Amino acid sequence: MKYLVFLLLSISYFSQTITYKPNAKVFHKDLGDSIQVYYENNESFPLTFKYTQTGSNIITTVTNETFIVALPKENKLFNTVHPKDPYIEWSFNYDTKVTTGDLLNQKNLDYVYSLPFESNKSVFIMQGPFSGKTHKELNAYDFGLKLGEKVHSARKGKVIFVKDNSNENCFNESCKEKANSIAIIHDDGTMAMYGHLKFRGSLVRINQEIEEGELIGYSGNTGYSSGAHLHFEIFLQDITNGKKITINPKFKTKNNPSGEYIEPGKYYIKP
Ligand SMILES: [Zn+2]
């Protein structure tokens, strides 16, 4: 006799201004004398699952808290559950969270990005990582683009968030959610955020595939901002605490086409 409880798959994706739910699930097949647990990733980028289980009188393949990286389009049996003693009651339940990207192998996140503006344009870096009032906890860059200047994608990907209906700004936290922005997910599961775009300043829609260097919108001064600029960051979400992990990207510049880390207070030309 067995007693089974399955909690609903809880998929969470939280960020300051975007919410994204990957197309993925963990599910089981009840074979009577055992249970098989599978994960399914229907996305074209890797995902990380946090799988937790509890139960009594059971033998399982994985430990009670397990982190699993699911490759793009991968569907796999990862856990088989048997009763230790089949003649007495046994119980089993599980819960899952999922986030985009390979959270267990972040060392591979070394892509060299295009600068997010027009070619041959020289742009001043107003603010860099872990500085000032707005980047205290962020690996992020503020590019000195004026109101209505062209914003180009820094890497190929799929649009997962667009907001361009705000016409408000102020220089405190209360305006954070008033920022117009575009988020694009890349094939390694990292995401790029293009922030403070102008009112109706997006040229893209959700799920649109974007090439690197494509014109995607126009810069502005919406949200937590005191003047027109483009806020740019590359990020993942830490599945253990739900916080954003921002990554310091290298960019292709005219002086260094193979890639370099850019610094605030300097001008850079996009090759
Ligand atoms: Zn910023």
Q: For the chain, which residues make up each domain, given as ranges?
A: 2-103, 107-269
Residue 10: pLDDT band (50, 70, 90) is: very low
User: For residue 219, how far is its CA from the centre of ligand 1 (angstroms)?
Assistant: 12
Q: Is the pLDDT of residue 74 over 50?
A: yes
CA–CA distances in Å: residue 55 to residues 4, 79, 81, 93, 107: 9, 14, 10, 6, 35
The domain 2-103 having CATH identifier 2.60.40: the answer here is: yes
User: For residue 130, how far is its CA from the centre of ligand 1 (angstroms)?
Assistant: 10
Q: What is the pLDDT at residue 237?
A: 80
User: For residue 195, how far is its CA from the centre of ligand 1 (angstroms)?
Assistant: 8
| Mean pLDDT calculated for residue range 65-87 | 95
263 vs 240, more confident: 263
Range with the poorest average pLDDT among 30-34, 76-80, 125-129, 144-148: 30-34
User: For residue 144, how far is its CA from the centre of ligand 1 (angstroms)?
Assistant: 10
| Mean pLDDT calculated for residue range 79-97 | 92
For residues 188-210, one letter each, b for 16 or more C-beta atoms within 10 angstroms of the residue's C-beta and e for the rest, the string is bbbbbbbbbbbeebbbbeeebeb
User: For residue 137, how far is its CA from the centre of ligand 1 (angstroms)?
Assistant: 11
9 vs 176, more confident: 176
User: For residue 225, how far is its CA from the centre of ligand 1 (angstroms)?
Assistant: 8
Q: What is the pLDDT at residue 4?
A: 56
Task: Tell me the torsion sign for CA atoms 124, 130, 134, 137.
Answer: positive
User: For residue 186, how far is its CA from the centre of ligand 1 (angstroms)?
Assistant: 21
User: For residue 108, how far is its CA from the centre of ligand 1 (angstroms)?
Assistant: 25
Cα distance between residue 257 and residue 70, in whole Å: 33
Name the average pLDDT for the chain.
89
User: For residue 87, how far is its CA from the centre of ligand 1 (angstroms)?
Assistant: 62
User: For residue 140, how far is its CA from the centre of ligand 1 (angstroms)?
Assistant: 6
| Mean pLDDT calculated for residue range 109-120 | 94
Cα distance between residue 38 and residue 27, in whole Å: 5
Residue 34: pLDDT band (50, 70, 90) is: very high
Cα distance between residue 53 and residue 222, in whole Å: 44
Q: Which residues surround ligand 1, an ion (CB under 5 A)?
A: 134, 142, 231
Level-2 CATH architecture, domain 107-269: Distorted Sandwich (2.70)
Q: 10 Å Cβ neighbour count for 173? A: 11
